Amino acid sequence: MAHESASASPVRFDSVTKRYPGAETVAVEELSFEVPAGEICVLVGPSGCGKTTALRMVNRTVEMTSGDITIGGRSVKDGDPARLRREIGYVIQQIGLFPHRTIAENIGTVPSLLGWDKERIRKRSAELLELIGLDPEYGDRYPAQLSGGQQQRVGVARALAVDPTVMLMDEPFGAIDPINRSRLQNEFLRLQAELKKTVLFVTHDVDEAIKMGDRVAVLKKGGKLAQFATPTELLMEPADEFVEDFVGADRALKRLALMRIRDVRLWKAPVARAGDPCEPVREAVAAAEVPHALLVDGENRPLGWLSDRDLSRERVPVIPDSSAELLDADSVLRDGLAYLLQSGSLYAPVIDPRGRLLGVLSVEIISDFLASDEASESELTAAERPHD
């Protein structure tokens, strides 16, 4: 979908400090880093490290004690906080949709504050609903009628309504169950690939930080910046013991969060359509990397594995549709491994966004990847590419 978006702005922290009156320790201390336009910067650290405070100083829901934050060169301290906030997208953990307004009205909140006319708001709401993957009829429903995951997507849509140049997200997926969290993360990354906003994202989960961030700012207690780097650098060259501990001993496995499934060489499995003669398929199975055949439809979409019994007939039969157990090529290797281990399968078909077969992933592919020298090189290359 052709989508026009305002350019994103870089965000820069300049020795930002926050001291609460009467408190002994400083909440945020001399925080300095720069987020290039169009990138996701994840602020991560243990509880009490000031990451949320730092985020909230960008839209002045918390006022900084000293230092400055600039968006596209302009200090956030210029002008009225409410006006500033209308230009910044804001997504919080508990979502905070207005229960008394419909979904469409919720999305249209800031446009309405800015005085857009009704028709323009309506169109924009519809546009955003489509963007986040909800049917247009959801526009007339109330938040109470939506699931948690759907509500959070609406929260993101609401933040995007006036096409802000900066987005602030405070543990946005924290209240969602792990299964849907992964899906929402993938969806947001796909969205970001299209929109390319500057995003500041807070989380306490280092795995989420590595998966989502183009850059990661690790904060330690007392609001001090421990390291500001790309996820790869974080994993391969942690700045000190704190970062090393925080990232976790399973750094190697965490590297799996950096690679997409589509980035590795997938194995080929023989494919067959219902009604094809079985003899050639049996021969292909004997010779292939993956010793099982996949039933596909006319569009090359996998429908399920064909067993030896299925292939023992004259013609390929129709089998029950098990197309739910497929891997999205945009998922990270870590999710792929998790799926394979959980389901106890050796192989899982990988599909593109349209559902068409790209290849098959196996545990061996992943372990080879971890072991190979090529791996570090391709990781670094992948890190330089924006997430797409």
Rounded Cα gap, residues 365 and 377, in angstroms: 17
74 touching another protein, by CB under 8 A: no
Q: Which of 192, 205, 182, 136 is nearest to 159 (CA)?
A: 192
Please check whether residue 325 is in contact with residue 348, taking contact to mean a CB–CB distance below 8 angstroms: yes
211 touching another protein, by CB under 8 A: no
Strand 347-351, strand 357-362: pairing: antiparallel
3-state secondary structure (DSSP) of residue 283 = helix
Query: Which of 10, 48, 72, 96 lies at the binding interface for another protein (CB under 8 A)?
Result: 96
Residues whose CB is less than 8 angstroms from the CB of residue 48 and which lie 6 or more positions away in sequence, other chains included? 221
> Of 102 and 345, which has the nearer Cβ to another protein?
102
Rounded Cα gap, residues 165 and 351, in angstroms: 33
| CB of 202 vs another protein, minimal distance in Å | 13
132 touching another protein, by CB under 8 A: no
> Of 168 and 243, which has the nearer Cβ to another protein?
168
Q: Which stretch binds another protein (CB under 8 A): 136-144, 283-291, 317-325, 348-356?
A: 136-144
Strand intervals (E) in the chain: 11-18, 28-35, 40-44, 66-71, 74-75, 88-92, 166-170, 198-203, 215-220, 224-229, 271-273, 293-296, 302-306, 327-328, 347-351, 357-362
Kindly state the DSSP code that residue 158 receives in the 8-state scheme.
H
Residues whose CB is less than 8 angstroms from the CB of residue 166 and which lie 6 or more positions away in sequence, other chains included? 8, 9, 11, 58, 71, 87, 88, 89, 197, 198, 199, 200
> Of 101 and 183, which has the nearer Cβ to another protein?
101
Query: Which of 40, 71, 95, 264 lies at the binding interface for another protein (CB under 8 A)?
Result: 95
Query: Which of 37, 113, 195, 382 lies at the binding interface for another protein (CB under 8 A)?
Result: 113
99 touching another protein, by CB under 8 A: yes
Query: Which of 100, 265, 354, 385 lies at the binding interface for another protein (CB under 8 A)?
Result: 100
Residue 285 neighbours by CB distance under 10 Å: 19
Kindly state the DSSP code that residue 18 receives in the 8-state scheme.
E
| CB of 99 vs another protein, minimal distance in Å | 5
| CB of 121 vs another protein, minimal distance in Å | 15
Amino acid making up residue 87 = E
Query: Which of 74, 83, 313, 315 lies at the binding interface for another protein (CB under 8 A)?
Result: 83
Residue 360 neighbours by CB distance under 10 Å: 22
110 touching another protein, by CB under 8 A: yes
Kindly state the DSSP code that residue 367 receives in the 8-state scheme.
H
141 touching another protein, by CB under 8 A: yes
Query: Which of 101, 251, 268, 282 lies at the binding interface for another protein (CB under 8 A)?
Result: 101
Rounded Cα gap, residues 334 and 312, in angstroms: 36
142 touching another protein, by CB under 8 A: yes
159 touching another protein, by CB under 8 A: yes
Please check whether residue 170 is in contact with residue 92, taking contact to mean a CB–CB distance below 8 angstroms: yes
Residue count at the site for another protein (CB under 8 A)?
31
153 touching another protein, by CB under 8 A: no
166 touching another protein, by CB under 8 A: no
6 touching another protein, by CB under 8 A: no
Kindly state the DSSP code that residue 175 receives in the 8-state scheme.
T
> Of 109 and 185, which has the nearer Cβ to another protein?
109
| CB of 279 vs another protein, minimal distance in Å | 57
Q: Which stretch binds another protein (CB under 8 A): 30-38, 93-101, 307-315, 369-377?
A: 93-101
> Of 90 and 305, which has the nearer Cβ to another protein?
90
Query: Which of 5, 32, 145, 376 lies at the binding interface for another protein (CB under 8 A)?
Result: 145
The gap between the terminal CA atoms of the chain, to the nearest Å, is 16
Rounded Cα gap, residues 18 and 154, in angstroms: 32
Query: Which of 9, 53, 70, 109 lies at the binding interface for another protein (CB under 8 A)?
Result: 109
| CB of 257 vs another protein, minimal distance in Å | 29
Structure tokens, 317: 């039969």
Gyration radius of the chain's alpha carbons: 24
Structure tokens, 368: 């080879």
- Residues of this chain that bind another protein (CB under 8 A): 59, 61, 82-88, 90, 92, 94-101, 109-110, 113, 141-145, 155, 158-159, 168
